[in-house]
Amino acid sequence: GGADAGKEEEDGVPGGPRKKKVVILLSANRSQTIGVLLSHLKIPHEDFRRAIMTLDTRTLQPNFVIQLMRLLPTDQEVAALQSYTGPKEDLGTAERFLFELLCIPRLKPRLQCFVFILEFNARLHDLSENVEVFSYAVHDIQRCKSLIKVIEIVLALGNYLNGQGPKGGAHGFKLEFLTKLADTKTSDNKSTLLHYLVTWIERNDKELITFPQELSNVEIGAKVSENMVDEISKFKKDIKFIYEEMNRPYYKSNAKNDPCGAKLEQFYHTAYNDMEVLEANKKKALAMYKDLSKLYGEEEAKPDEFMTYIHQFAQTFKEAYNENQRKREEEERVRTRREAFLKSMAEREAKAEDRKKARLKRGDKPPPEPRKDTAVPRPKDPAAGRRDP
């Protein structure tokens, strides 16, 4: 909102004693937004200004400083505040607050540095953890010899199915192909190539079935690797910004009355060392990935793509195995029910036969068979034998 320069509001009741005039330089909407932020600030404006000047990380929370950066005065508001010459006490609450802010030299870059310092430890922890998880995922794939064997079986299976055709006799395939095995239906349309692969492995090389369990870090490794390099680059850029800011001539010439430059310098040395360790770990992890992708013939694949293909294959393989198990269990249940039914039928027939034999042994006559030609007696006509009068 624009500044409503010079607008005055009177406190007090009409006809009563006149109270001091409140000078409003901001729009009502702007004043309200700043008022909401200030309601969370439990310290006087002077103390707040001092906390910003000295980068006091104990007094101010990261969220507050981030919100404050979004509320910095516009050029129009700066002009209105700077042209005001009356008593500071006559200004509205929001105006007095912005007035205090404008007294801080290099306000915006100072706040940018402040936010970075406040968030530094959390960001460093997250980025270090991402590099670590990515390294674990690379290790998982490197160590999983079963995965290589399963891929060799897929290649042999593909070459067998393609026979002497142009696609037969292949020396390898792209990892993406593994994610499409579930889409390739069998000739009877009841199963897929993936389910067939699982069945074949169960019968011929059963210890390979559990290979997905060896790749527990790959899913999260794929997620973190997507933005890992970009996020670390941005982190380095923010540290460089601290370096450039602390070397500004302003801080050199005002070192006595503005401690910010010295604080930035002190922070920078610690942050730079932490960043060097993070960068070294990242390079090591990416070098390991490069060797791994070369082994799989996927040098061009981005880490997140490479790991997603492997995770998806492991996941669908596990699902296909479970589906095969369920199908077998269902077939077993049907077979058991059928056998139980046939057995009970056979038992009933055997009992009937035993009863028949027992009767014959006792010399009992079998119950007479109902005669098929037996005439059914007709009901008598009620009128028969009656004489008409």
Q: Cβ contacts of residue 153 below 8 Å, gap of 6+?
A: 197, 200, 201, 205, 208
Q: Cβ contacts of residue 65 below 8 Å, gap of 6+?
A: 111, 114, 115, 118
Q: How far apart are CA 25 and CA 65, in angstroms?
A: 23
The per-residue pLDDT string of the chain (389 residues; one tens digit each, 9 = 90 and over) reads 444 445 555 554 455 555 567 888 888 898 888 888 888 777 787 888 888 888 888 888 888 888 888 888 888 888 988 888 888 888 888 888 888 888 889 999 999 999 999 999 999 999 999 999 999 999 999 999 999 999 999 988 877 776 555 555 556 678 888 888 888 787 777 788 899 999 999 999 999 999 999 999 999 999 999 999 999 999 999 999 999 999 999 998 998 889 999 999 999 999 999 999 999 999 999 999 999 999 998 988 999 999 999 999 999 999 999 998 898 888 889 998 999 899 989 888 888 888 888 888 877 666 666 666 555 566 666 555 555 54
Q: How far apart are CA 242 and CA 225, in angstroms?
A: 26
User: Residues for the chain: how many in total?
Assistant: 389
* CA-to-CA separations, 284 to 100, 130, 141, 279, in angstroms, rounded: 48, 13, 16, 9
- Class of 28-104 per CATH? mainly alpha
Tokens at residue 187, please?
Answer: 């000739």
Tokens at residue 90, please?
Answer: 């006559």
Instruction: Count CB-CB contacts under 10 A for residue 145.
Output: 11
Q: What are the domain boundaries of the chain? A: 28-104
Coil, strand or helix: which one is 7?
Answer: strand
Instruction: Count CB-CB contacts under 10 A for residue 4.
Output: 14
Instruction: Please report which residue ranges of 163-302 form alpha helices under DSSP H.
Output: 193-204, 218-225, 228-246, 249-253, 260-295
Measure the CA angle with vertex 35, ends 32 and 38; round to 5°. Answer: 160
